[in-house]
Amino acid sequence: MAITRIAEGDFTRAAGFIVLAGMFDVLDGMVARLTKSTSELGGQLDSLCDAISFGVAPAFLLYKVYFYAQGEFGVVLAALPAMAGVLRLARFNIQSAGSTDKLYFRGMPIPAGALTLLSYTLFYHTDAFQRGYGEIIPNDWKPLCITLVTLAVAGIMVSTMKYDAVPTPSAKAFRERPFVMAYFFAGFLLAVFSKGAWLFPFMLSYILIGVLRSSYNLIQSRFEPEDDDEDIEELE
């Protein structure tokens, strides 16, 4: 439905369908666990649905909104997030088979990438946001900005930077990860009360948290002392 609306030029309604797909993406796992019907087949189907809803549909939106004017080069640029998202999903399916870490993702999840592209395109590149808040990004800067956002989202999805997984709302999740729950709940409230206008700044903060955390871990690993065991063996 989102792709159909994009083809018709109804970008606002298309965005609603992509957000709705995100809600179902959260619910399908919950329903599968409640009904004890989880399976490897269901996991693969979930990834295929993600590839269409959060990869192809946002890429088509980028193309119809701006990149169509860039010819074949624009097709490639618009397709980058979809290709990066599919690659990330394939890598996730392989890694998650033997992984027990459910708190973090390696690389930004494809639904988060879709929300980033969707919120930027709808509220900052087009005039939907500007009608109520004035001109945020000058028209001369818009081609560069949408290109940079597209490249950044594609690159971060295939990166190995750690990103927090959205916890399932529960009392246990609030006790174990209060700050993470509060962060995502605040983002949800911002998006709802601003009618989507503040979703992109929130997604930008989500991206920056992952970048800063990875940068800190990299710097810390560079300055960690060498293993003391080696020094003991040399003394002996």
217 lies in some domain: yes
The whole-angstrom separation of Cα 3 and Cα 233 is 64
Task: State pLDDT tens for residues 119-168.
Answer: 999 888 886 545 555 567 778 888 899 999 999 999 999 998 888 887 77
70 lies in some domain: yes
Q: Quote the number of domains for the chain.
A: 1
**In the chain, what is the straight-line distance between the N-terminal and C-terminal CA atoms, in Å?**
71
Q: Where are the alpha helices (DSSP H) in 158-227?
A: 171-176, 178-193, 199-223
> What b/e readout covers 209-221, taking b as 16+ CB neighbours within 10 angstroms?
ebeeeeeeeeeee
pLDDT at 132: 52
236 lies in some domain: no
Determine the average pLDDT of the residues in 215-219: 84
233 lies in some domain: no
18 lies in some domain: yes
Which residues form the domain of 53? 2-221
CA dihedral of 14, 16, 22, 24, whole degrees rounded to 10: -100
Is 112 exposed, middle or buried (CB count within 10 Å of its CB: 0-12, 13-18, 19+)?
Answer: buried
91 lies in some domain: yes
235 lies in some domain: no
Determine the average pLDDT of the residues in 33-56: 87
The whole-angstrom separation of Cα 105 and Cα 147 is 25
pLDDT at 232: 47
Entry pTM: 0.84
Q: Is pLDDT above 80 for 109?
A: yes
Number of helices (H), then strands (E), in the chain: 12, 2
pLDDT level of residue 236 (50, 70, 90 thresholds): very low
168 lies in some domain: yes
